[in-house]
Amino acid sequence: MAILRKLKEKLKKIIKENMPKKKALDISKESPKPVESKKQMLGTEELAIEKTKFSHPEVARMRRAMPQELPGEYGWDKIILQVRDPWWIHAYWEVRPQVFERLMHELGDEFYRCRRILRVYDVSQVIFNGHNAHKFFDIQINEHTNNWYIDTGGPGRSWCVDFGLLLPNGRFITIVRSNTVQTPLDGPSWITDEEWMIPEDMFARLYGMGFGLGRSSPVGKVWQERVKRALFSGVLASPGMGSSPVKKAKERKFWLVVDCELIVYGATEPDAKVTVQDREIKLRPDGTFTLRFALPDGKQVIPVKAVSSDNLEERTITPVVSRDTKVNSLVKA
Amino acid sequence: MRSLKMNKGYLCLVLHGHLPFVRHPEHEDFLEEDWLYEGITETYIPLISIFEKLVQDNIDFRLTMTLSPTLISMLSDPLLEERYIKHINRLIELSHREMERTAWQPHFQRLATMYLNQFCSVRDTFERYNRNLVNAFKKFQDLGKLEIITCGATHGYFPLMDVHRESVRAQVKVAVSHYESVFGRKPRGIWLPECGYQPGHDEILKEAGLRYFFTDSHGVLHGTPRPKYGVFAPIYCKGTGVACFARDLESSKQVWSSIEGYPGDHNYREFYRDIGFDLEYDYIRPYIHPDGVRINTGIKYYRITGEGNQKEPYVPEWAREKAAEHAGNFMFNRQRQVEFLYDFMHKKPIIVSPYDAELFGHWWYEGPQWLDFLIRKIACDQDEIRLITAYEYLEENPRNQVITPSLSSWGWKGYSEMWLQGSNDWIYRHLHAASQRMTELAKGFTNTDGLLRRALNQALRELLLAQSSDWAFIMGTGTHTSYALRRTKEHLLRFNRLYEDIKSNSLEEEWLSDIEYKDNIFPAIDYRVHQ
């Protein structure tokens, strides 16, 4: 009971705290609350790494036709809510044109003075019947919008949204009502009651192993004592979590890379034996060959020796190549 | 040798292995299939080689690994296996040419030789398991070293399917029966795709016979009531008793943080310098994309070196030494953590360290070596910590607190924003419509055969494929999004047409056969699980 009272007080406090900021917020405005900075840091780093799993440049695959488009609507009236995080929920909806036509017919001229509204209800711990929400707030929507991010400002609460028309006289007509969603808490729960269990089959195994009951009764008692004594207020989390700045993509400065490779090629009788720098190489069927070397600075002496298949003739040609790389940089002020 | 001395805590290492289903028999060569080939060369086979040597050396170990149903399906697909052989043969050819080209640069020639040896041994291993690496992982599971857990059938992000729980159920049930057909027993645990937990989904896990799952830290820390032991003991979900183990952030950060994290060490291999981009165009052209676009080949010659663009050649011995040092550091930190927690909790803590498997070896080249050193050090050099699987832990510690975990994911910002933001939120309108229609079909057609049954099964395949969180993720990153867009639309359009053709009784067998041939995942699927 004490817990319930505590819960109620806490809820009241939360509601009070959040009351003044109930404004329709555009998606472009980011959530004002820092989302668990440590977690976020790690998350961002992981995201950058995770991306490398799909690390390929985009290939210009325009030639492969993109499939046709998905339907713009499915011909039903509904609004769906999903939770993005402890503060934000997302709504998307579809309403058939004939629904608006019917309303237009019913409301006459007044229809044109109506505003399209998302009415966001806080329905925490109630079975919502349209009238028993703790509170609600409205977001005005323009005619062509079909989805919206809603800043609820209320972690750990339940939400339901009506899409409808607000008449100039303050009357609200619900067109579609959403599912109910619950935002998660953004911190530890304030409920500290404990409940423990041993699954039936695992208990049965312990029991069968011979120290079942004997162990569970006295040890269990000691355990519970200890639980009571050791009730610590904080929740265990990893110690020593500092925040670390996220590595930014390196800035692309002006740059130049130059390297040299050397191609050595030639031809001889297809059945001759050829060595280059004393290493035997393979000839193509027509007796030609090509070798390609990364060419470092310095002098390369490259004897190419061919020996006829009958071993009676031998010829050597030795290109000598040297590379000397100079680097100059100039930065104009 | 397992020491007789009592340990003070447990370490549960989890590698989450997943790639989206990418298989295009209709194209000779398809760039995105490389994701799998890179995974095989750089991650899966290096891991398998480590397991082999550990078993050979009689080192006891416990490791938990997800193999997502899409990954299993690709690893055991004959077409992709054959294509992989072509891929690795091309790499071997390239490394031969590299050895020749670098004859006057001994630094680089040594590395070219290293790659040549590595690729050849990778090919040998691949052949040794009859080209199906699932056989290898199964072997280590059967030996009791590896606990393979399942995942969503196509890695759909469950919290954003919550309005149609039938889809969550289908993701879970298809995954579980697929697992059973592959491994010959039921899975005990599941990696919720993206670690995405929505309160209540444990009911579906329970129905499917799953005993445990993992969440990110705040999934348990922000649960109700407060978890007495934080993330250092599992909890049972209220109402279902399914166990939930939460990630320890400190050990995650040690591996991934760009500041304190290991992979940023200057001696490790630089991921962004690949000869596919560095070498002269005509030379490298046969080994990059047939369209002529430069891509990563996997041959990289430089070490991280430091900030800035000037990079020094990679020295494998230095990197290996660092990996050993980092493994020692990781173990040391876990020992201190366990000692601290043991005194505090009066109970043996379990530290859960999950990582994305593909980033070991692919992103962090020395990652598999690090893991090898870590496992060996834990087995031989200390008594405080013991490697354990989640299930073994539960057997030894069956009494745990009961709470309701909180909505959470391990994605950017910890909730659903990665998959629900301006660039990808439009997909849910269509995905949910398809889910609703799929339920309608499953309820409307309870007993079917022939063409109709095939069409209904294919409809579920298309829906599942459209649900892969990878597509929304890629759209969310904002780069190279066209493939993700294309896949989302393609599967949804196929689904929509199937739905309409089924409803109007106008199925065309030829078209159906064509998409069955293209999207051939889960041959034994039963559409009736979508209820």
Residue A329's pLDDT band, with cuts at 50, 70 and 90, is: confident
Structural domain total, chain A: 3
- Name the DSSP letter for residue A210: I
Q: How far, in Å, CA of B453 to CA of B215, rounded? A: 37
pLDDT above 70 (res A2): no
Tens-place pLDDT, residues B5-30: 689 999 999 999 999 999 999 998 88
Q: Is B310 on the interface with A (CB under 8 A)?
A: no
Q: Which chain B residues are Cβ-neighbours of A151 within 8 angstroms?
A: none
Tell me, yes or no, if B231 comes closer than 8 A to chain A by beta carbon: yes
Q: Is B348 on the interface with A (CB under 8 A)?
A: no
| Interface list for B 436-465 with A (CB within 8 A) | none
Per-residue pLDDT tens digits for B396-437: 999 999 999 999 999 999 999 999 999 999 999 999 999 999
Which range, of A13-22, A124-133, B379-388, B469-478, averages the lowest pLDDT? A13-22
Cα nearest neighbour of A58 on chain B: B480
When mean pLDDT is compared across A267-271, B224-228, B305-309, B481-485, the lowest value belongs to B305-309
Within an 8 Å CB–CB cutoff, is residue B113 touching chain A?
A: no
Set of chain B residues whose Cβ sits within 8 Å of the Cβ of A290: none
Nearest to B413 among A71, A85, A206 (CB): A85
pLDDT in tens, B190-243: 999 999 999 999 999 999 999 999 999 999 999 999 999 999 999 999 999 999
Contacts with A101 (C-beta within 8 Å, 6 or more apart), sequence order: none
How far off is chain A from B279, nearest CA to CA, in Å? 9
Burial of A191 (0-12, 13-18, 19+ CB in 10 A): middle
Long-range contacts of B135-143 (CB under 8 A, 24+ apart): B136/B48, B136/B51, B137/B48, B137/B65, B137/B67, B138/B182, B138/B183, B140/B48, B140/B51, B140/B55, B141/B183, B143/B55
Q: Which of A36, A70, A239 shows the shortest C-beta gap to B492?
A: A70
Of A157, A182, A207, the position where a domain reaches its end is A182
Chain B residues with CB under 8 Å of A202 CB are 394-395, 398
Domain assignments of chain B as residue spans, ordered by start:
12-76+132-265+314-413, 421-529
Residue B13, min C-alpha distance to chain A (Å)? 16
- Long-range pairs for B470-475 at CB < 8 Å and ≥24 separation? B470/A54, B470/B19, B470/B20, B470/B155, B471/B20, B471/B424, B471/B427, B472/B157, B472/B418, B472/B419, B472/B420, B472/B424, B472/B427, B473/A50, B473/B194, B473/B411, B473/B418, B473/B419, B474/A54, B475/B423, B475/B424, B475/B427
Nearest residue in chain A measured CA to CA from B306: A250
Per-residue pLDDT at A210: 44
- A198 and B398: CB-CB below 8 Å? yes
In Å, what is the CA distance from A176 to each residue of A83, A92, A106, A179, B439? 19, 11, 17, 10, 22
Q: Look at residue A239 and tell me whether its pLDDT is greater than 90.
A: no
Question: Is residue A166 domain-resident?
Answer: yes
Token pair in block for residue B234: 């599992």
Q: What is the pLDDT of residues B116-165, one digit of tens each?
A: 999 999 999 999 999 999 999 999 999 999 999 999 999 999 999 999 99
- Residue A4: pLDDT above 60? no
Residue A50 CB partners (closer than 8 Å, separation 6+): B356, B359, B473
In a domain, A168, yes or no: yes
For the domain that residue A130 is a member of, what is the CATH number?
2.60.40.10
Kindly state whether residues A100 and A123 are assigned to the same domain.
Answer: yes
pLDDT reported for residue A300:
94
Domain membership of residue A212 as a residue range: 193-223
Q: Which helix (H) or strand (E) holds B111?
A: helix B106-128
Q: At residue B286, does pLDDT exceed 90?
A: yes
Are both A169 and A90 inside the same structural domain?
yes
Q: In the prediction, which pLDDT does B488 show?
A: 97
Q: How far apart are CA A167 and CA A171, in angstroms?
A: 5
Domain stop point among A223, A245, A279:
A223
> Which band of pLDDT confidence, cut at 50, 70 and 90, is reported for residue B530?
very high
B277 touches chain A (CB under 8 A): no
The residues in B 25-84 lying below 8 A from A, measured between CB atoms, are: 31-32, 34-35
CB of B196 less than 8 A from some CB of A:
no
Closest by Cα among B139, B149, B169, B379 to B243: B149
Is A6 in the same domain as A118? Answer: yes
Looking at residues B103-108, what average pLDDT do you find? 95
> Is there a single domain that holds both residue A272 and residue A296?
yes
**Same domain for A133 and A10:** yes
Could you give the percent of chain A with pLDDT greater than 70?
68
pLDDT at A305 over 50: yes
A-chain residues near B260 (CB < 8 A): 244
* ipTM of predicted complex: 0.94
Task: Verify that A88 and A15 share a domain, yes or no.
Answer: yes
| A13 confidence band (pLDDT: 50, 70, 90) | low
Domain-embedded: residue A331: no
pLDDT at residue B479 tops 90:
no
Whether residues B230 and A192 touch (CB distance < 8 A) is answered with no
Decide if A132 is inside a domain: yes
Residue A233 has pLDDT above 70, yes or no: no
Q: What is the pLDDT of residue A246?
A: 39
Are residues A70 and B230, on separate chains, in Cβ contact within 8 Å? Answer: no
Q: Confirm whether A149 is domain-assigned.
A: yes
Flag whether pLDDT at A235 surpasses 70: no
Q: From the CA of A299, how many Å to the nearest CA of chain B?
A: 10
pLDDT tens, position by position, A110-136: 999 999 999 999 999 999 999 999 999
B229 touches chain A (CB under 8 A): yes
User: B225, B237 in Cβ contact below 8 A?
Assistant: no
Answer yes or no: is A278 within a domain: yes
Structurally, at CATH architecture level, domain B421-529 sits in: Up-down Bundle (1.20)
When CB atoms are compared, the residue of B250, B358, B410 closest to A240 is B250
pLDDT, position A244? 33
Secondary-structure class of domain B12-76+132-265+314-413 per CATH: alpha beta
- A280 and A178 within one domain: no
Q: Considering chain A, what is the average pLDDT of its residues?
A: 77
Q: Please check whether residue A68 lies inside any domain of the structure.
A: no
Give residues with Cβ within 8 angstroms of B299, minimum separation 6: B91, B94, B95, B98, B112, B115, B274, B275, B276
Q: Given an 8 Å threshold on Cβ–Cβ distance, is A193 in contact with B225? A: yes
Task: Check CB contact of B343 with chain A, cutoff 8 Å.
Answer: no
Q: Residue A333: what pLDDT?
A: 61
Angle between helices B45-56 and B133-142 (to 10 degrees): 30
The verdict on B4 touching A (C-beta cutoff 8 Å) is no
Q: What's the pLDDT score for residue B258?
A: 65
Q: How far is A290 from chain B (nearest CA, A)?
A: 11
For the segment B274-278, the average pLDDT, to the nearest whole number, is 94
Give B56→chain A minimum CA distance, Å: 31
Residue B39, both tokens? 């995974």
B86 touching chain A per CB within 8 A:
no
What is the nearest CA distance from A109 to chain B, expressed in angstroms?
Answer: 32
